[in-house]
Amino acid sequence: MVDEDHATKTGTVFPIKSILCGNRVDCPLIPKNEASWMRDLQYMISQTYQVHRAMFKNMVDSAKGFIVSDEESLFQSSNDIDTIEKHRKMTLNVTYDHELRRKIEIFLVQLRSKLRSWELRSKSILWKEQNSYNRYNITYQRSIPTYPSVTRLCTVPFVTIDSSLEPFTSNGFAPILPKIPVINFLKERFPIHETCALVANSGSLSGSMKGTEIDSHDIIIRFNDAPTVGYEVDVGKKTSIRILNSQVVSRRSFNLSDPLYSSAVNLVWDPSSFQVDLKHWYSSPDHNFFPNYQIARKLTPNIPFYIIHPRVAWDLWKQLQTSKPHRINRTPPSSGFIGLLLALRLCSYVYAYEYIPSIRITEKCHYYDNTSGLGCTFGDWHPLATEKLYALHLNTASDYDLAINGRMRTRGCG
């Protein structure tokens, strides 16, 4: 039996009798020992309410993380409620900068709004020509939307082309393709892989001063031909893995022995049709990188160079589409989203720098050139807005880290 005054003590009073019976004196929904029954019911409801309210408040407080501490310890190690509660108790002595909190709140609300407006262009009649684009023959039938999560994203296998797959068994590629599956190879090459840094090419990395922090991670993943020389202060100088789109590899100037690539494990990807017919893909790729790949493997066989299976990109696209009630762009995801999957597969924790833009957001496309346009950030072709909204659901870093540091954090596949 519970304390008679428990509901009063908790400060939460629920008018149970009036809810169940209205103004009726004789109510069949309440048993004869009314007082005892009411106390027990009141206690259960009050407890449930208090627990859920506390859990929700702790999750919001910690996930938003509008806190600035001396050590800037603004991460949560997981989505686990106990961990979040411990983190909250550990940061009771932090100071709150309310003006900064307000600015961060406004910025992130505006960012989410901008991402959603770009995402919903796929439904707008104003973008009829772009929305009719279906170069890859996507025939996907939408189903009930599912909530974005690391667990769901980790159901996508990260596989590469090997010599057992036609037409590569018989077209001369078999001897030059890597023999060890890419994930196994990477874990052997990088035996310590607790943290991965995913370094975007974004112009908002300019002036970030994140180079030393980026280089402190176990594995650093970069994209395409983004340089580090001359930009070390902002982006670091180490490169463990480089993910290349086929446009880069198909250029005449591409040279795997260039220092940009030679110290890293390189992976190239190219979109096939949605049905993933490898024979058709080999004969008609988006950008014909195959000749340069063959040359690179023959001239520099000691530099690791993998071809990502085109199924990976379309499996990721399906994850994005199933997270939405509306149709998204019928184009493959970006190198960044492919890199995110690889990082999740490799590391216990993944830190993505300026993948979700910070307050340094700019129209400048890349930190290393002068091309401009918001489409580089929000997606003129790739479904970038959907990718970034998905990534926001995975994020366990604070809003301070997202908005000020440009640093997203999530756990790996485990």
Tell whether the model's pLDDT for residue 85 goes beyond 70: no
Cα separation values, 51 from 57, 80, 86, 98, 255, Å:
10, 15, 16, 27, 60
Alpha-carbon distance 402 to 408, whole Å? Answer: 6
Q: Which amino acid is at 233?
A: V
Query: Given the structure tokens 């110290």, which residue do they identify?
Result: 263
CA distances, 328 to each of 6, 138, 289, 303 (Å): 52, 11, 28, 37
Tokens of 57: 């408040």
With H, G, I as helix, E, B as strand and everything else as coil, classify residue 49. helix
Model pLDDT, residue 35? 57
List pLDDT tens digits, range 205-258.
Answer: 999 999 999 999 999 999 999 999 999 999 999 999 999 999 999 999 999 999
284 by Cβ neighbours in 10 Å (0-12 / 13-18 / 19+) ranks as exposed
The CATH class given to the 110-411 domain equals: alpha beta
Q: How far apart are CA 38 and CA 31, in angstroms?
A: 9
Strand-pair partners of 222: 242
Query: Model confidence over 19-60: pLDDT tens digits?
Result: 445 555 555 544 555 555 555 555 444 444 444 444 444 444
Instruction: Give residue-wise pLDDT tens across range 147-192.
Output: 999 999 999 999 999 999 999 999 999 999 999 999 999 999 999 9
| Torsion sign over Cα 317, 318, 323, 325 | positive
Domain residue spans of the chain: 6-90, 110-411
Average pLDDT of the chain, as a whole number: 82
Rounded-to-10 torsion of CA 165, 171, 175, 177: -50
